[in-house]
Structure 1
Amino acid sequence: MTTLHTYLTQRAASTPHLEALVAADQRFTYMEFNNRVNQLAAYMLAAGVTKGDHIGILCKNNHPYPTILLAALKIGAVAIPLNWRLTAYEMQGIMKIAEPRMLFYDEEFADTLSLLRGIKFVPVSEGLVLSPEFDSIFSTYSTAEPASAPISDQDLAFILFTSGTTGIPKGCMIAHECYDLYMRQQQPHPRVEAGLRFLAVHPMFHMSSTSLIFFHILRGNTMVFLDDQSPAAILDMIAKEKIQTMFAFPSVYAHLWEEIRQEGRDVSSLLYVSAGGTKVPASLIRRYLKMGIPMGSGYGSTEAAFVSHWNPSMGIDTAESTGTLMPQVQVKIVDPQSGEELPAGEVGEIIVKSPYLFKGYLNNPEATAQTIRDGWIHMGDAGKLDENGLLYVSGRFKEMILFGGDNIYPAELEEVIHKIPGVLEVAVIGVPHEEMGEAPLACIIKHPTSRLTKEDILNECRERLAAYKIPDVMFVDHLPKNGVGKVLKAVLKEQLAGDKAPSAVKKLDVKLTSTP
């Protein structure tokens, strides 16, 4: 095993003139990338940063991001990618836990940092233009490999804050070995070869994006950065830079697919795409496969990292699953009350043991002990393993709807509804019901040109779901989401509190369309 920053040193030595980073009109080879990382590392050392110090990164998708990340690791510091969607109050809470020595930030987030003190702040860019202070580093400091204290694969590389929806998110401590083990186990898709062009459009503070930086350096690929997730911007960049692969949330791909279908955009350069961060609808996978674009998916978390992966070679009839377990990963399905392991096919809580696990929550031993028990991470997700070892995830246990004595898992309903032409996004939540306790309600975003009605949705559900699972339906213009794009179902439920659907629809704090 090795430490993650050595990926870049080795890549720059083996393919120095291969294009590494592209952002707007700026392009850097791997030799230039490595030189800039070394210069920034020298700047950090000169500013007094030492091994183990925390380095915050509050920047959008642009070439400085991986430069800062790698520079921190090269001197043994711990990189802390920060969610730029947070408020000043939320950021203050995280900084009390993280205690960074230095924080790099895009100037549009200056107000977010207004409550913070005792940190060296380094402005990075305004829009796509580097700040004078940051830009001067690359004409001042040496490009030589930095001298630092010995760095072990057991040392921390990152602190990644969870996307919690209540309270202050927890800081997951990730060692070099976690990602290094994974990178060396992972086999790229057969259509993906070294030298391909990857679109880095997913927010860089997310675990998936952080790991993908190292995957693409290791493979010798070109990373093209884009901080605009609108379908038009993504499709323009795919055409301009001949993008061959990308990673994004399923909702991004849903909107992208509609844009392609409506406008007939050219995506012929795409060889393979990946989706994750939340449940990937099988219907979305099938839509892209019909266009000749295989879509892979997977399951994991910040704490457990990489648990399972799926790609079309496993058979499209298994697309509802999250695929096979990663090498060296063990999964059990247990009764959440008794802890007893359940047989194949039965739904219970997913628990995971693997070499990719985090080291615990920063300064929070109580939460660590609650999550890791006897070496197993308790995911808080409901799921099952089939007889072939494929993992199926039903959703969060706390999102399960108890309809009388029957359990309803929202993911099953969402999968059915997402298949309906014209549906872009759907979130199913439980709402109060006088007789049954809870009943399902489907909140749906449809394409602006769609003529879908409530009855259309219900007819499709009646054909595919048991009667007790049929949801009520409402159409919305958007769904509330957290900093990494996951739907905030708890927020929807809170907004419905004290009323019964469908009358509670009137009280939702979202823009609603009429329900024909």
Structure 2
Amino acid sequence: MYDSKPWQALYPKEIPVTLEYTSEPVQQYLVNSAQQYPEKVAIHFMGKEITYKKLYEEVMNFAGYLQGTLSISKGDRVAIMLPNTPQAVISYFAILMAGGIVVQTNPLYTERELEYQMKDSGAKAIITLDILYPRVSKVMPQTDLQHIIVTAIKNYLPFPKNLIYPYIQKKQYGIVVNVQHKGSTHLLSEIIKMKPQKLKIYDFNPAEDVALLQYTGGTTGFPKGVMLTHKNLIANTKMCQAWLYKCKPGEESVLGVIPFFHVYGMTTVLILSVMQANKMILLPKFDVETTLKTIQKQRPTLFPGAPTIYIGILNYPDLKKYDLSSIHSCISGSAALPIEVQEQFEAVSGGKLVEGYGLTEASPVTHANFLWDVPRIKGSIGVPWPDTEVKIVSMETGEPVPVKEIGEFAIKGPQIMKGYWNRPEDTKEVLQDGWLYTGDLGYMDEQGYFYVVDRKKDMIIAGGYNIYPREIEEVLYEHPDVLEAVAAGIPDPYRGETVKAYIVLKEGSSVTEEEMNHFSRKYLAAYKVPRIYEFRKELPKTAIGKILRRMLIEEDKQKIEEEENQKHA
């Protein structure tokens, strides 16, 4: 049944079942757009606009500096620790132009998390914000980092915002960081003004050469670097382009609020925009009012996002004041999209919002619902994208299961990762004969629509972020008064799931929820910190002493259901 790919019969005539992929590296698409659309606006950032010609020039300047002054050569890893800003786009393509491998790093990472990722990737340099410079500097001696390139939000703001912003930043973060361009510290603003250095152009094998290390959690809870090749990223972006067949190259505007350090934002906003010469309307963080004002003023046509973003907009008290009618296409990723949210957002905007499915190891999209011309099926993640094979296999035998029977998603296609960075055993575990075994459970119906019924065993998805319990538990166990701890995701109407910690204290100890929260925030990014702490005398365990996380989750689900039933009684 899976070999016959019944979903392809559902494709509208505009979507081919197989695509052509040019043998080019990702950065070539910037070269192409700069040549074909030099005066087209590539980036809009809080009132400042940059054309494709200007973007290309700054990318080439920076790439030359990376190669010449910093001695970055083919295969060297360079980290980007930035929110969605023009500098993030410039840095991304400059690293690739220089022959390097991009290491995307979450700006919310603590010193502990940053140190681990820099050590694991072996990054030689990192590009970051001035306000993050103290954090990066403290980590630098424990890693292979040789250079820190610093930039500031104000550098790409229009007048007079560029003068006002430092005062806003000081009020918001309580610090002002003055960094000088000397030694191992470099200012991007100075680099861009320098005379361009001659750039060595490397030969690339897109199918083999890694473009990106995108970190994700693993079954052990320790982040793993997913190796995505140039071909992986181009293939997935080409698939996205084919899916959005009504979108016109050089004419679309994409709202870039989903972060580039999330591979979904990178593919559907960053690479797709450059491939099609779209305008990227960048927002450094999601704020509902700012997002709505930006939509009304800039009139984006495409709006990739996560359910929490759409929910936040729908629940904004003054939503009726804003016109969202420019938006015609949205694909939601990162977490399950509630049907009510889908229908409400479409009613408000007049555009189409559909759910997709994917994972970092797949660059990331493998399935989506159709935006146009084909009726969508409620509750389904849609169908596989072009050139993507999917089968549902038995968790016990690995053999394909019949239609409508639940099993594990196994996926094959040109967007599937090369493997995990320096982790051959982990790679062998999930990649077999080109098939990616996802650990996600679901089924296919007779027509070829797919459904997800459960996620990877323990992973928490809160607000679109993948959070791994083991990482939280490692921190909780470091508290001197904690005897046992387990972290889990419990249902949350806004975030999808929220992190809860169940803790058993050592005899005679007394710790408050506030104290545990303060302790956790020292070592975990804000989105990973438990929102709820429950102190127990004991935790449920198996006969061999393994804590039964699933039992705790089920207990909480039952409590939530009982409370809901009482409300409606």
Q: TM-score range by the shorter chain?
A: 0.7 to 0.9
Partner of 1:75: 98
**Match 2:43 to one of 17, 21, 36:** 21
Mapped to 2, the partners of 1:187 and 1:223 lie a distance apart of: 19
Mapped to 1, the partners of 2:429 and 2:219 lie a distance apart of: 18
Structure 1, 259-268 or 85-94: larger mean CA deviation: 259-268
Secondary structure in 1 aligned to 2:126?
strand
Partner of 2:33: 11
**Match 2:216 to one of 138, 145, 162:** 162
Mapped to 1, the partners of 2:553 and 2:32 lie a distance apart of: 60
**Match 1:121 to one of 147, 157, 182:** 147
Partner of 1:288: 345
The alignment's TM-score, normalised by the length of structure 2, stands at 0.70
Query: Match for 1:108: what amino acid?
Result: I
Cα–Cα, structure 1 residues 379 and 261, in superposed 2: closer, same or farther, change >3 Å?
A: farther
Cα–Cα, structure 1 residues 283 and 191, in superposed 2: closer, same or farther, change >3 Å?
A: farther
Cα–Cα, structure 1 residues 495 and 382, in superposed 2: closer, same or farther, change >3 Å?
A: farther
Partner of 2:417: 358
Mapped to 1, the partners of 2:534 and 2:91 lie a distance apart of: 39
Mapped to 2, the partners of 1:296 and 1:111 lie a distance apart of: 41
8 Å CA contact retained: 1:329, 1:353: yes
Superposition deviation, residue 335 in structure 1: 1.5
Partner of 1:423: none
8 Å CA contact retained: 1:42, 1:141: no
Query: Match for 1:15: what amino acid?
Result: Y
Partner of 1:151: 204
Residue deviations 1:301-330, cap 9 Å, x none? 111232111134365550311111111211
8 Å CA contact retained: 1:347, 1:382: yes
8 Å CA contact retained: 1:191, 1:271: no
Superposition deviation, residue 150 in structure 1: 1.6
Cα–Cα, structure 1 residues 363 and 204, in superposed 2: closer, same or farther, change >3 Å?
A: same
Secondary structure in 2 aligned to 1:313?
coil
Mapped to 2, the partners of 1:357 and 1:258 lie a distance apart of: 36
8 Å CA contact retained: 1:228, 1:234: no
1:261-280 superposed matches below 5 A:
262-280=319-337
Mapped to 1, the partners of 2:419 and 2:73 lie a distance apart of: 22
**What runs of 5+ residues in structure 1 fail to find an aligned partner?**
401-409, 415-439, 447-479
**Match 2:426 to one of 367, 372, 384:** 367
8 Å CA contact retained: 1:54, 1:100: yes
Mapped to 2, the partners of 1:270 and 1:248 lie a distance apart of: 12
Mapped to 2, the partners of 1:339 and 1:493 lie a distance apart of: 38
Query: Match for 1:90: what amino acid?
Result: E
Query: Match for 2:31: what amino acid?
Result: T
1:75-474 superposed matches below 5 A:
75-113=98-136, 114-117=138-141, 118-129=144-155, 133-142=187-196, 146-153=199-206, 154-163=208-217, 167-185=221-239, 186-194=241-249, 195-212=251-268, 213-259=270-316, 262-291=319-348, 292-305=350-363, 306-313=365-372, 315=374, 317-398=376-457, 442-445=491-494
Query: Match for 2:146: what amino acid?
Result: K
The alignment's TM-score, normalised by the length of structure 1, stands at 0.77
Secondary structure in 2 aligned to 1:378?
strand
8 Å CA contact retained: 1:191, 1:272: no
Secondary structure in 1 aligned to 2:64?
helix
Mapped to 2, the partners of 1:396 and 1:23 lie a distance apart of: 36
Cα–Cα, structure 1 residues 503 and 198, in superposed 2: closer, same or farther, change >3 Å?
A: closer
Secondary structure in 2 aligned to 1:61?
coil
Query: Match for 2:203: what amino acid?
Result: P
Cα–Cα, structure 1 residues 495 and 27, in superposed 2: closer, same or farther, change >3 Å?
A: farther
Mapped to 2, the partners of 1:441 and 1:56 lie a distance apart of: 33
Mapped to 1, the partners of 2:456 and 2:244 lie a distance apart of: 32
Residue deviations 1:168-193, cap 9 Å, x none? 31000111111222333441535432
Q: State whether structure 2 residue 521 is matched by structure 1 residue 498.
A: no
**What runs of 5+ residues in structure 2 fail to find an aligned partner?**
1-21, 157-178, 182-186, 463-488, 496-520, 541-550
8 Å CA contact retained: 1:245, 1:273: yes
8 Å CA contact retained: 1:35, 1:143: no
Cα–Cα, structure 1 residues 373 and 325, in superposed 2: closer, same or farther, change >3 Å?
A: same
Q: CA RMSD in A?
A: 3.4
Secondary structure in 1 aligned to 2:195?
coil
Cα–Cα, structure 1 residues 223 and 311, in superposed 2: closer, same or farther, change >3 Å?
A: same
Secondary structure in 2 aligned to 1:286?
helix
Mapped to 2, the partners of 1:123 and 1:502 lie a distance apart of: 44
Superposition deviation, residue 222 in structure 1: 0.4
Partner of 1:31: 53
8 Å CA contact retained: 2:34, 2:53: yes
Superposition deviation, residue 64 in structure 1: 0.5
Secondary structure in 2 aligned to 1:103?
strand
Mapped to 1, the partners of 2:226 and 2:274 lie a distance apart of: 23
